[in-house]
Amino acid sequence: MKISEVMTKNVVSICGEDNIQKAAELMRDHDIGAIPVCSNDKVIGVITDRDIILRIVADKKDASKENVRSIMTSTPVVVTPDMDVSEATKIMSDKQIRRLPVVRDGKIVGIISLGDFAVENGTNSSAGKALSGISSPCCHDL
């Protein structure tokens, strides 16, 4: 199965110069945990809810005064729509990431997440394999 068959096609994106408050509001409004950062539709980074918590909230910074570029992952791992789902799950597992922007000629055309694999028939085992590689045991007792 190809990524294009299971990816989310209506992708919310943000500019690197936008403030982090806007990114957080987009995440809330669209019920998502990651947003590709784009410049002229080309992916230049990714910002996640975890980035915001660890780099803004925990450090007591003002989200309205910090821009997205300052905390985004600037070398995001991306995939292409014609890639096989198994390749994407291997990348997710190897790199321990849960979402991948989907690009064609460098331009954003979708996003794929573990959730996309989990809800699509025939990809549940792929999601399980990726999740087992991403979720490694914690070294602290909780």
Is the pTM above the cut of 0.85?
no
Task: Provide the pLDDT confidence category of residue 41 given band limits of 50, 70 and 90.
Answer: confident
Q: pLDDT digits over 126-138, tens only?
A: 544 544 444 444 4
Q: pLDDT digits over 87-108, tens only?
A: 999 999 999 999 999 999 989 9
Element (DSSP H or E) covering residue 117: helix 114-119
Q: What is the rounded distance in angstroms from the CA atom of residue 9 to the CA atom of residue 110?
A: 4
Of 108, 94, 121, the C-alpha closest to 38 is 108
Q: What is the rounded distance in angstroms from the CA atom of residue 140 to the CA atom of residue 72?
A: 27
Q: Which residue ranges form the domains of the chain, and what is each CATH number? A: 3-134 (3.10.580.10)
